[in-house]
A and B are shown apart, each in its own frame.
Chain A
Amino acid sequence: MINRILTMFAEAKDLITKRLRNDDTYIEIAYIDSLCDESKISEAIFVPFSRNQKPFQEIVEFSSEFKPVHEMTEWTSSLLRGYVLVHINGKYYSYDASRNIRIETQTTQVESSIQGPQLALTEDLKDGLNLIRNRYPEPSLAVEERTLGTVSKTRIAILFDNRKVNSKVLKNVQKKLLEINSDMLHSAGEVVRELVGNRKQLFPTTLISERPDRISNSIAQGKIVILMHGSMFGIILPVTFFDLMNSMDDQYEGFWMSRTLLIMRYFSVLLTVTLPAMYISIVSYNPELFRVQLAFSIAGSRSAVPYPSFIEVLVMLFMIEMLVEASVRLPRYIGSTGTTVGGLILGQAAQQAGLVSSIMIIVTSVVAITNFVIPNNAMAFAIRFLKYPLILLAVFYGITGVCIGMFIYFVYLSSIRSFGVPYFRLHGKLTRSAEGDLGQVSST
């Protein structure tokens, strides 16, 4: 065995091969040192083998930790995953001794919740499965495991509830997973990109989440979850636009306020998308839309600004986008300084220098703040982009252009399908007694 393995691998110092013999047995073992936990190996193999209280072959046969390996083709892949290969009496076994380096903290970082569970997924697949199984103790929970990436061989698990899952969607996902043909896959985002296929898709059609509660909820709704080894995030699919606008807190907090917040969230999406464009079109095409007082004060504060309104808007938007971008990249304690300097001082100075009008400062801040309200990061990015085409339309067509642009966005949204499921559709049934309102279409 050892000779064969040595021919399969390139020269690697951490590939350890040993031939051992005790009183009655002769074994060959091979493992990759850097991937394995030495103590695990000595505990499971070296110690029992050298003590030889029981015949080692029996130990191997009875223990569930040693899995028989039937094909030679599996050798390299199991070695590369941190397994120890054992050859004993013409039979081959693998033993999982992998050592994972991972972040130990398990609190949620990206999707924080105020009073919901604070536990997040970890980068280890097994721990992730453990967390979800605990939250979803149902026999119908199916777990499929496979590897992705011809080189990275990332292990992923596909979880779904056997009884609730939409078989059409499941087949679609399985087919797409098989079609993935990429060397390296390390993050959930890459997998999503490969899965969705359409590179120019503007809106996210999957939900990337680190929250086990969210994942188990989705499984209960009949959705499919893909967990990935080495990534803290699970992929939930298929999702709708409204799922992405929902935060977990909406389900944990009181009815009235969470509904009000939800409405405000949609309203702020509307604001963040249309406000800059509306500013341009009202200021430059239809100032009669404002009340007289407002129109005069805007006209007054704009009178010092030498540029047309859209340049003013673009300057301010560029500034705020860079500010947001910078504060994401900066370490946390410098980040706040950056926002203060940028937001407060620059804004104030720009207005006093007559580069922008004071109303524009308000518009810009509203646009930025309302964008942060969106609970999902991928969605927030998509929506952040939406305002730019509208600005273009506003420059040429005024309010008409903005409205037409919004209409096109709506049509685009409703023509998106997330793995065959309509993306932008209100719930299938409004009342419980309603029959299915559309034939041939599934709603989850």
Chain B
Amino acid sequence: MRRLISLVLFTLMFGIILGGCGFKDIDKRFFVVAAGIDESGNPNKPFRVTLRLAVTSPKIEPGAGKSQIETIEAKTIAEGVRELKAYVDKELDFGHCKIFMLGEKLARTEMTQALNWMTRRRDIQMIANVSIGKPSAEAILQIQPKTERYPGNTLFLSFGKEGTDSSYTLSEYVFGLRKRLTEKGIDPVLPIIVSERDTYRISQVGLFNKKKLVTTLKPEETQLYNQITKTYLKSSLGGNVEDDPYVLTVGKIRSNYNIKNGPQGKPVVQMIIRINGLLEEAPKMVFEKDWTPIEQELGRQYSKAVVQLLKKFQRYGVDPVGFGIRYRATHYSGGDKTWQDWQRMYPNIDFDVQTHVTIEGTGLIK
């Protein structure tokens, strides 16, 4: 009896198994390391999909990372990828695709469709980085940095935390972008990759409203934005006190903000920023001086810059910091009313930024 049951089960199982199976060896797969989506300008086939495929080799040494670039124009992204399969000899695998790039032109018009495709596909990681390619995603993907040990490494390291830790680079994941696109009260920001001969520069960000790219930030503004949205960011802060240049390396920065009603009943965003750091550039014998005025002056200049940046956000009608969601969290007044209040308030809200700079030391010399 028991033997019969097991026999039946066994044949049942293996009969079904033989029907279909997803067995595909690693060397029969083509790993996509970066994917770019551009606008083609062709109304019938509006998307231009560029994939950077890794050509693997057993040797791993600087410059050995080779890759193959495939480009196609298609009606939809999914169709484009499917058509691309006909161009290559192995199965395309998005499992290691950590970089998604939108062309600047596409970002300025429409980006929801591209993002929908990314989140709906099951093999694309939610922790893949999304960015904007300037002038186009294809142009960026065509660059092959000379020192790469394996294909795509330069881009992976630029965005990851293991590699460089630049204060100008912002990294945004697929899930984060999606959150910002859907959330009421915070708007998407994406890093912009600019091509520079054989390498990349990632020092700017683009601001989005819920649909498209609105404006871009300058590198200094990008750093400022990174500083106010993150803690523990290795960055710097500069300023002039009595005509002497001072540069502070920031060890720790934290910002706190809340929304209050100001004295005239006008709502105010109050932001308090605390910066601790070491002096990196300063006039001689600064050790003997009183640091308090220096700290205050640096703080004042910093606050001014931050207010300018926030005003810029306000001017473009975007909210990349998330004041809106903070307002929704702290000023709940039932249902959707809070959100409508905020939308009315934001265009002419005031900003009050206070920066407390603490100089921890003057480095190794006085």
**Chain A residues within 8 Å of B, Cβ to Cβ:** 283-288, 292-293, 295-305, 308-309, 358, 395-396, 398
Question: Are B27 and A299 in contact, with the CB atoms below 8 A?
Answer: yes
Question: Are A303 and B56 in contact, with the CB atoms below 8 A?
Answer: yes
| B29 interface contact, C-beta 8 A | yes
> What 10 additional pairs, Cβ within 8 angstroms, besides A288-B125, A293-B149, A300-B57?
A284-B23, A288-B95, A295-B26, A297-B56, A299-B31, A302-B25, A302-B26, A302-B27, A303-B27, A303-B57
| B22 interface contact, C-beta 8 A | yes
Stretch binding the partner chain, chosen from B103-111, B150-158, B284-292, B336-344: B150-158
**A305–B57 Cα gap in the complex (Å)?**
13
Please give me the residue from chain B that is nearest to A309 by CB atom.
B25
**A299–B31 Cα gap in the complex (Å)?**
10
Question: Are A286 and B27 in contact, with the CB atoms below 8 A?
Answer: no
Task: Say yes or no: A287-B151 contact (C-beta < 8 A), given A296-B54, A303-B56.
Answer: no
Please give me the residue from chain A that is nearest to B94 by CB atom.
A288
**Chain A neighbourhood of B123, CB < 8 A:** 288
Question: Are A292 and B152 in contact, with the CB atoms below 8 A?
Answer: yes
Question: Are A287 and B58 in contact, with the CB atoms below 8 A?
Answer: no
Question: Are B96 and A292 in contact, with the CB atoms below 8 A?
Answer: yes
| B59 interface contact, C-beta 8 A | yes
**Chain A neighbourhood of B26, CB < 8 A:** 283-284, 287, 295, 298-299, 302, 309
**Chain A neighbourhood of B280, CB < 8 A:** none
**Whole-angstrom distance from the CB of B175 to the nearest CB of chain A?**
16
Please give me the residue from chain A that is nearest to B24 by CB atom.
A284
Question: Are A292 and B56 in contact, with the CB atoms below 8 A?
Answer: no
Partner of B22, one of A287, A297, A302, A398: A398
**Chain B neighbourhood of A296, CB < 8 A:** 31, 54, 56, 60, 150-151
| B21 interface contact, C-beta 8 A | yes
**A309–B123 Cα gap in the complex (Å)?**
22
Interface centre among A283, A293, A298, A300 (most CB of B within 10 A): A300
**A292–B162 Cα gap in the complex (Å)?**
13
Question: Are B60 and A287 in contact, with the CB atoms below 8 A?
Answer: no
**Whole-angstrom distance from the CB of A184 to the nearest CB of chain B?**
31
| B52 interface contact, C-beta 8 A | no
**Chain A neighbourhood of B329, CB < 8 A:** none
**Chain B neighbourhood of A396, CB < 8 A:** 17, 21, 23
Interface residues on B, range: 20 to 34
Nearest 7 A/B pairs, CB to CB: A288-B95, A300-B56, A300-B58, A299-B56, A302-B27, A301-B58, A283-B26
Please give me the residue from chain B that is nearest to A285 by CB atom.
B22
Partner of B96, one of A295, A297, A304, A305: A295
Q: Chain B 9-43 against A: per-residue CB contact (8 Å), 1 yes, 0 no?
A: 00000000100011111110101010000000000
**A309–B151 Cα gap in the complex (Å)?**
24
The main secondary structure of chain B at its interface with chain A is loop
Interface centre among B22, B56, B60, B152 (most CB of A within 10 A): B56
19 interchain pairs, CB-CB under 8 A = A284-B23, A285-B22, A286-B95, A287-B26, A287-B31, A287-B93, A287-B96, A292-B33, A292-B98, A293-B60, A295-B31, A296-B54, A299-B31, A299-B56, A300-B58, A301-B58, A303-B27, A303-B58, A398-B22
**Chain A neighbourhood of B25, CB < 8 A:** 283-284, 302, 308-309
**Chain B neighbourhood of A298, CB < 8 A:** 26
Interface centre among B33, B58, B125 (most CB of A within 10 A): B58
**Whole-angstrom distance from the CB of A282 to the nearest CB of chain B?**
8
**Chain A neighbourhood of B27, CB < 8 A:** 299, 302-303, 305
**A285–B152 Cα gap in the complex (Å)?**
22
Question: Are A308 and B29 in contact, with the CB atoms below 8 A?
Answer: no
**A426–B62 Cα gap in the complex (Å)?**
52
Please give me the residue from chain A that is nearest to B124 by CB atom.
A288
Question: Are B95 and A287 in contact, with the CB atoms below 8 A?
Answer: yes
Please give me the residue from chain B that is nearest to A395 by CB atom.
B23
Within 8 A of A (CB), among B46-104: 54, 56-60, 93, 95-96, 98
**Whole-angstrom distance from the CB of A339 to the nearest CB of chain B?**
27
**Whole-angstrom distance from the CB of B178 to the nearest CB of chain A?**
20
Q: Chain B 120-152 against A: per-residue CB contact (8 Å), 1 yes, 0 no?
A: 000101000000000000000000000001111
Interface centre among A287, A304, A398 (most CB of B within 10 A): A287
**Chain B neighbourhood of A303, CB < 8 A:** 27, 56-58
**Chain B neighbourhood of A309, CB < 8 A:** 25-26
Question: Are A293 and B150 in contact, with the CB atoms below 8 A?
Answer: yes
Within 8 A of A (CB), among B152-200: 152-153, 156
**A287–B23 Cα gap in the complex (Å)?**
11
**Chain B neighbourhood of A288, CB < 8 A:** 93, 95-96, 123, 125
**Whole-angstrom distance from the CB of A285 to the nearest CB of chain B?**
6
**Chain B neighbourhood of A284, CB < 8 A:** 23-26
Question: Are B60 and A297 in contact, with the CB atoms below 8 A?
Answer: yes
**Chain B neighbourhood of A301, CB < 8 A:** 58
**A288–B33 Cα gap in the complex (Å)?**
11
Partner of B150, one of A292, A302, A358, A398: A292
Please give me the residue from chain A that is nearest to B16 by CB atom.
A396
**A194–B161 Cα gap in the complex (Å)?**
62
Please give me the residue from chain A that is nearest to B149 by CB atom.
A293
Question: Are B59 and A300 in contact, with the CB atoms below 8 A?
Answer: yes
**A304–B56 Cα gap in the complex (Å)?**
11
**Chain A neighbourhood of B95, CB < 8 A:** 286-288
**Whole-angstrom distance from the CB of A281 to the nearest CB of chain B?**
10
**Chain A neighbourhood of B22, CB < 8 A:** 285, 398
Please give me the residue from chain A that is nearest to B59 by CB atom.
A300
**Whole-angstrom distance from the CB of B11 to the nearest CB of chain A?**
14
**Chain A neighbourhood of B56, CB < 8 A:** 296-297, 299-300, 303
Partner of A292, one of B23, B59, B156: B156
**A310–B294 Cα gap in the complex (Å)?**
68
Question: Are A297 and B58 in contact, with the CB atoms below 8 A?
Answer: yes
**Whole-angstrom distance from the CB of B57 to the nearest CB of chain A?**
5
**A301–B23 Cα gap in the complex (Å)?**
19
**A162–B25 Cα gap in the complex (Å)?**
61
**A296–B57 Cα gap in the complex (Å)?**
8
**A298–B17 Cα gap in the complex (Å)?**
27
